[in-house]
Amino acid sequence: MNEDFEDSPRFIIPDTGDWRYRLNEYTRLNQRELAALAWGLWVDQGDDGVIIGVDLHPAPHFFSCSREAIRTLNNQVEHQLQSALAVVESHNPSLEVLVLGINQGSDYQFQFIQFQPDPTPPLCFEQLTEPLSNLISQLEAGLAQHLVNVTST
């Protein structure tokens, strides 16, 4: 876990599956930004950064994840991700974005979201006018705000 988030507030996301809906909605609303992030990570890290990870605890934060890391995670969580491995293996980062959401409730829960943005991830990245680190910070702050707004209603 990243120590930068040690002092961050903890977000209580219920185990009901509601967090999956919230993450889907946030992804839908931020497709171009996530596509730019995905392509930027791919350019920076190659196959080691093929998937965007979103860990909701202790506060929402993004990380990059390789195919090998997903395979390892699948083994560590008693093959809960087995059905998603085919999607991961066939993922084409120049056409689509793959997001792995992780929620730590009473146990670890996972959500894969895959979409094809318009324009493509490389074009979204070309249109980016700020450093990738700023985009990540903005996306994390936006996701945290989205979760707070939804949970407070």
14-55 tens-digit pLDDT = 445 588 888 999 999 999 999 999 999 999 888 776 799 999
In the chain, the number of structural domains is: 1
Residues 6+ apart with CB under 8 A from 150: 22
DSSP 8-23: SPPP---TTTHHHHHH
Is residue 47 assigned to a domain? Answer: yes
> pLDDT truncated to tens, each residue of the chain (153 aa)?
333 333 333 344 444 558 888 899 999 999 999 999 999 999 988 877 679 999 998 889 999 888 888 889 889 888 888 888 888 888 899 999 999 999 887 678 888 999 999 999 999 999 999 999 999 999 999 999 887 654 443
End-to-end CA distance of the chain: 29
**DSSP E strand boundaries for the chain:** 51-55, 61-65, 97-104, 108-115
Is residue 2 assigned to a domain? Answer: no
SS3 112: strand
Is residue 31 assigned to a domain? Answer: yes
Is residue 4 assigned to a domain? Answer: no
Is residue 9 assigned to a domain? Answer: no
- Per-residue confidence (pLDDT) for residue 149, from 0 to 100: 57
- Per-residue confidence (pLDDT) for residue 58, from 0 to 100: 86
Mean pLDDT of the chain: 83
Domain, as residue range, for 96:
16-151
- Per-residue confidence (pLDDT) for residue 79, from 0 to 100: 86
Q: Are 92 and 35 in contact (CB under 8 A)?
A: no
- HSE toward the beta carbon, residue 83, CA cutoff 13 A: 4
Is residue 103 assigned to a domain? Answer: yes
Is residue 7 assigned to a domain? Answer: no
Is residue 34 assigned to a domain? Answer: yes
- Per-residue confidence (pLDDT) for residue 17, from 0 to 100: 58
